[in-house]
Amino acid sequence: MKSTRIQLLLVTTLFFSMLSPINGQGRTKNKAASFARWYKGNTHTHTLASDGNAPASYVVKWYYNQGYNFIALTDHNKIINPDTVKLPGKLRKDFILIRGEEVSGGKSIHTTGLNVTGYVDPGDKTLANAAILQNHVDSVLTHSGLPILNHPNFSKGIHASNISTTSKLHMLELFNGHPGVYNWGKEGHAPVEVKWDSLLTQGHRFFAVASDDAHHYDQFYPEKANPGRGWVMVKSTVLSPDSIVAAMVRGDFYASNGIILKTVEANQNNLTVEIDLVATKEQLKSPYLTGNITTEGKSGFLIEFIGSGGKVLKKTEGTSASYAVNGSEQYIRCRVSYCRKRAENKFEYLYAWTQPVFPGQK
């Protein structure tokens, strides 16, 4: 069965769910683990093969020039073979393409198939929301890929109640850089982060990515679907499609739309997070970022540890923080934010979101 690889990884993940270290350094003590590093990547990008406005080679060059380590070209119901894409001339050794597709079904339900072996058919587009999503997940797994539910608040959206009934789905897009996806909520739909907490609180194991969903590579302004807005940082000893996806399935990554972390570490007693201040300050100069614009805010860094029901268990204003685990928490995750003042009494929040750990799950 072709989906064996992912299923095995998920089983492994569950096996290690008792506070396994997120940064991959403490889980095993073998030598290779000490060489794990962070790799920056985007799991959701479009090209001329569907509704993006640049050819694949141009898109790849854009990400390469911005210092990314991997991207997946994920056109709507189209597969681009990475071997056919012209790569930038002086290719760094730390840059790869991962084969992907945005499986785009009816009712605006879209699912990234990451590292799929071949074309994934979106199936019957007339089914109910939950059935469309389950078809996507099953088909992506059949093609040995990792399914990621995209932009849950896009168009009519999909509610947590429809996501929670889906089996073998363990990842969703928490932040999507497209201007039409309502990451922060809209009428009838809670912020995606609230949906994530709802799923976790119900006992479903979900990790979260941030991605670009980039379509436009010529003009850059907030109303365009530009690249450079959301990404994942994956901790891995090896940069290959299989190792990156395996690390994501283990939860050895965090999602970001502006903040860079130096340390994300969990053990039986503590969950510790430290901001990479130098890298974050550099990242915050990027003209491509689009944060959460609010009318109220407090400038500076804030680190929050979040548990069941989305409740903030502890918060610290600063660049590093540690949460003492008491063992009864259903889950704990960390949200790091940076707030900066914008024109007209507006504030902009940028984030890094770590994956949850599950001390209460034996």
Binding site for Zn ion (CB under 5 A): 102, 110, 150, 213
Residue closer to Zn ion, measured from CB, 213 or 252: 213
Residue closer to Zn ion, measured from CB, 110 or 205: 110
Q: Amino acid letter at 153?
A: N
CB-CB contact of 316 with 273 (8 Å): no
Cβ at position 44, least distance to Zn ion in Å: 6
Q: Where are the extended beta strands (E) located within 32-155? A: 37-45, 70-73, 96-104, 110-114, 146-149
How many angstroms separate the CA atoms of 241 and 316, rounded?
A: 36
Cβ at position 63, least distance to Zn ion in Å: 15
Residue closer to Zn ion, measured from CB, 111 or 292: 111
Could you tell me where the DSSP H helices lie in the chain?
Answer: 4-15, 56-65, 129-142, 160-163, 192-201, 241-250, 277-283
Strand bridging mode 146-149 / 110-114: antiparallel
Cβ at position 13, least distance to Zn ion in Å: 26
Cβ at position 287, least distance to Zn ion in Å: 22
Which residue of the chain is nearest Zn ion when measured via CB?
110
Residue closer to Zn ion, measured from CB, 108 or 267: 108
Residue closer to Zn ion, measured from CB, 20 or 211: 211
Cβ at position 151, least distance to Zn ion in Å: 6
For 228-245, give the DSSP string.
SS-EEEEEESS-SHHHHH
CB-CB contact of 254 with 201 (8 Å): no
Strand bridging mode 207-211 / 171-176: parallel
Cβ at position 46, least distance to Zn ion in Å: 6
How many angstroms separate the CA atoms of 247 and 207, rounded?
A: 12
Residue closer to Zn ion, measured from CB, 181 or 325: 181
